[in-house]
Amino acid sequence: MSSSAAPNRRAIVPRFSHRLHDYVHGINSLAAALAAKQNLGEPILDLTVSNPTLAGFDYPETEIRAALGGRGGLEYHPSARGLPQAREAICGYYAERGERVSPDDLLLTSSTSEAYSFLIKLLCDPGDSVCAPAPSYPLLEYLADLECCELTTYPLRRQGSQDGGANTARWAVDFAALERALTATTRAIILINPNNPTGNLLTQDEVEQCMGLARDRGIAVIVDEVFADYCLGGAAYYPAHSDQALVFRLNGFSKVLALPQVKLGWIHVSGEPGLKARALDLLEIIADTFLSVNTPVQASCAALLELRDGVQKQIRARLHRNLLRITELTEGRDELTLLRPEAGWYAVIQLHTVEPEDTVVVTLLRDAGVYIHPGQFFGFEGGCHLVVSLLTPEQDFAEGCARVVQYAAHRML
């Protein structure tokens, strides 16, 4: 009898990597409520919009097509660090921001997410860790898990007064907690400046203190600057670079040009010269293994960067108008507080309720037709936080936020 015909033999199936096992779980209650609403064909006011290409902005279509369709994209000249002309163009972007950056210190990736994965490969062995702020961008946990690395966190805390007209409250790094969070396995401190979704800008003092801490502990700093072009007034953005600590700054077209589909990101490296050169050489080996950045985008990098002002202006105008609207709607209310962002595409509303956050978001969706992300998706601990996207088209934003305010007022009665 052939083995395939043997009775009662258990099939031997291939197994999958354990790094994914935490993600194989059922659908959460918010996703289930969203699916139910969509199945019924009921209208939804979506306050989670994060894809700028579907948010009603007017892109210079002809110029984008012309840039990407140039002859430069037709020949392949593999370059692990990225084509020199593309790196030069990115230096031009920094120069316009008032910073001098050398193309030799840049390495291109296909996205900022890929830049994170390259840096974890560079810095971590399996079981090592990187330490990121909480609350922050949820993808970091997946990125770390996929590299068999642990994501630990340090808290950002609200400091200052939130009362009355003189609202001086801001999110600040809790340095005592950060120091406690750094262990023998920590290989990097991650800074997200401006942060998503809290929208706080790090002060010069915070950036320098983090770099000092990293230098003293012999670990690297990764600074995610994808929202740096979207400051909302007031606070200034402080760029991080060092000639001592090893610092990796990340950015890319998904926010600089609001073109996530074009797929270009980059890493800028600074630090003690010998260390910096070694890091760049090793990163080059990682990048050379994949050569993931497509040629058309590299060949068109300069032309595309030229187009960023027009799109950024539209986005900033919408961010400002939506922020103004949500400020008007929430001002002077006891039942909720707007945790005002200094930059970025998001704002956070804190509801002063004992109702669990997941109940609030599901009820808002089911009864008020407002789809909104709960703070727990971003690592807020305790309380009820709702994250709204300031990128949302203005009418939907105003109506959606008004319904959130009504909901909160009604619950307080």
Ligand X SMILES: Cc1ncc(COP(=O)(O)O)c(C=O)c1O
52 near ligand X, judged by CB under 6 A: no
Residue 210 is given by DSSP the state H
138 near ligand X, judged by CB under 6 A: no
226 near ligand X, judged by CB under 6 A: yes
Nearest-approach distance from CB 308 to ligand X, in angstroms: 15
- Please tell me the distance from the alpha carbon of residue 16 to that of residue 60, in angstroms, as a whole number: 44
Which three-class secondary structure state does DSSP give residue 366?
A: helix
Nearest-approach distance from CB 255 to ligand X, in angstroms: 7
Which three-class secondary structure state does DSSP give residue 319?
A: helix
- Name which of 68 and 362 has its Cβ closer to ligand X: 68
Region of 69-77, 108-116, 276-284, 405-413 interacting with ligand X (CB under 6 A) = 108-116
Which three-class secondary structure state does DSSP give residue 101?
A: coil
Helix (H) or strand (E) holding 405: helix 394-412
- Please tell me the distance from the alpha carbon of residue 219 to that of residue 295, in angstroms, as a whole number: 34
Please identify which residue in 138, 260, 296, 369 interacts with ligand X, judged by CB under 6 A. 260
- Name which of 311 and 408 has its Cβ closer to ligand X: 311
- Name which of 51 and 359 has its Cβ closer to ligand X: 51
117 near ligand X, judged by CB under 6 A: no
Nearest-approach distance from CB 345 to ligand X, in angstroms: 8
252 near ligand X, judged by CB under 6 A: yes
Name the packing angle between helices 357-368 and 394-412 (round to 10°): 120
112 near ligand X, judged by CB under 6 A: yes
- Name which of 79 and 109 has its Cβ closer to ligand X: 109
3-state secondary structure 23-71: HCCCCCHHHHHHHHHHHCCCCCEECCCCCHHHCCCCCCHHHHHHHHCCH
Region of 110-118, 239-247, 310-318, 325-333 interacting with ligand X (CB under 6 A) = 110-118
Q: Give just the sign of the alpha carbon dihedral 166, 171, 173, 177.
A: positive
Q: How many CB atoms lie within 10 A of CB 334?
A: 9
Give the number of residues in contact with ligand X, rule: CB under 6 A: 12
392 near ligand X, judged by CB under 6 A: no
* Cα angle 230, 50, 120; round to 5: 80
Contacts with ligand X in 155-194 (CB under 6 A)?
192
- List of residues 6+ apart from 105 with CB closer than 8 A: 268, 269, 270, 276, 280
> What does each C-alpha distance from 190 to 45, 107, 133, 268 come to in angstroms?
33, 18, 7, 14
- Please tell me the distance from the alpha carbon of residue 329 to that of residue 394, in angstroms, as a whole number: 14
Region of 14-22, 105-113, 214-222, 308-316 interacting with ligand X (CB under 6 A) = 105-113
Nearest-approach distance from CB 344 to ligand X, in angstroms: 8
153 near ligand X, judged by CB under 6 A: no
198 near ligand X, judged by CB under 6 A: no
Please identify which residue in 111, 242, 295, 392 interacts with ligand X, judged by CB under 6 A. 111
- What amino acid occupies position 205? D
Q: Tokens for 98, please give them.
A: 């008032």
118 near ligand X, judged by CB under 6 A: no
Please identify which residue in 113, 242, 270, 350 interacts with ligand X, judged by CB under 6 A. 113
- What amino acid occupies position 345? W
259 near ligand X, judged by CB under 6 A: no
Nearest-approach distance from CB 150 to ligand X, in angstroms: 19
Q: Tokens for 10, please give them.
A: 């258990």
Region of 141-149, 252-260, 272-280, 295-303 interacting with ligand X (CB under 6 A) = 252-260
254 near ligand X, judged by CB under 6 A: yes
Residue numbers at the binding site for ligand X (CB under 6 A)? 111-113, 137, 192, 196, 224, 226, 252, 254, 260, 265
